[in-house]
Amino acid sequence: MLVEPRSEEQLSQLLRCCDAQEIQPVILGNGSNVLVSDDGIRGLVLCLAPGLDSLAEQDGVITCGAGVSMTRLCRFALEKGLTGLEFAFGIPGSAGGAAFMNAGAYGGEMKDVLIGCTHLTQSGERGSLMGNALALGYRHSAYRENGFLITSLMIRLAPGDKAAIRARMEELIGRRKAKQPLEYPSAGSTFKRPEGYYAGALIENCGLKGKSVGGAQVSEKHAGFVINTGNASSSDILELIRLIQDTVYREKGVRLEPEVRFLGF
């Protein structure tokens, strides 16, 4: 079952219902960094992207619903003349998902600007985490462990020049288009960056650029992306991911950890 709550109150009621029925729901934002099994997901999926979409700003702090897209959030910051979020322009996910995984790019990460989150517990109770309690690290936050559901973010930015902010956003989206295979479907960057290395370089140095399994392929544009060339199954993509991991570990001695989340397998 797929449910799209349109308000925090609806979401709270759903979580209370799930808790009473001992159902563990699967939480989705924009779904941009997940691979779902070909067999689907048995159970209840809560998709937040259509709801929880409020945006407000006061004294340089943006309060943002978890379902707001990162692109919309960055454009809102630009409209308000606030700098600090330019790195996130073009990240194809929701604000809640970006906080959940401490998303980052081009030298910036959510940790630099995120000061707090409100959430609902698994039993539908409201709460919040602020500052160090967020436990933000590389592709990590406290929410990866506690099972709570982020409902809103508080982001502190600095006053900036709109023209300079827009120019930086345009520069970074241009770099994304030039270097990443955005013309093909993918779940984004496939692997986390291993300490001291770059995943894409390791994969390319192992001769895997262009390697295919069924319709899944290591991008010839950027080896850090596994793309769908048109008819890939989830099984194709998962098999290729495992082949990459085995090859890189055998040849380079480095274990690649997926950045993509696997659901329903």
Report the distance separating Cα 95 and Cα 93, nearest Å. Answer: 7
* Residue type at 193 in one-letter notation: R
Among the listed residues 12, 94, 189, 219, the single catalytic one is 189
State yes or no: pLDDT of 51 exceeds 80.
no
Q: If you average pLDDT over residues 32-55, what whole number do you get? A: 89
Taking only the tens place, the pLDDT of each residue in 154-175 is 999 999 999 999 999 999 999 9
Question: Active-site residue 139, yes or no?
Answer: yes
Fold of 199-263: 3.90.78
Buried b (16+ CB within 10 A) or exposed e, 191-202: bbbeeeeebbeb
Among the listed residues 139, 152, 186, 234, the single catalytic one is 139
Q: If you average pLDDT over residues 32-56, what whole number do you get? A: 89
Report the distance separating Cα 169 and Cα 86, nearest Å. Answer: 5
- Reported as a pLDDT band with limits 50, 70 and 90, residue 50 is confident
List the domain boundaries for the chain: 52-163, 199-263
Q: Is 227 exposed, middle or buried (0-12, 13-18, 19+ CB in 10 A)?
A: buried
Question: Active-site residue 259, yes or no?
Answer: yes
Question: Active-site residue 189, yes or no?
Answer: yes
Given CATH 3.30.56.10, say whether it is the number of domain 52-163. no
- The reported pLDDT for the residue numbered 216 is 98
Report the distance separating Cα 201 and Cα 189, nearest Å. Answer: 13
In three-state secondary structure terms, 182 is coil
- Reported as a pLDDT band with limits 50, 70 and 90, residue 73 is very high
- The reported pLDDT for the residue numbered 2 is 92
Report the distance separating Cα 46 and Cα 14, nearest Å. Answer: 9
* Phi–psi pair at 209, nearest 5 degrees: -60, 125
Taking only the tens place, the pLDDT of each residue in 137-152 is 988 999 988 989 999 9
Report the distance separating Cα 83 and Cα 202, nearest Å. Answer: 34
Taking only the tens place, the pLDDT of each residue in 79-104 is 999 999 999 998 888 999 999 999 98
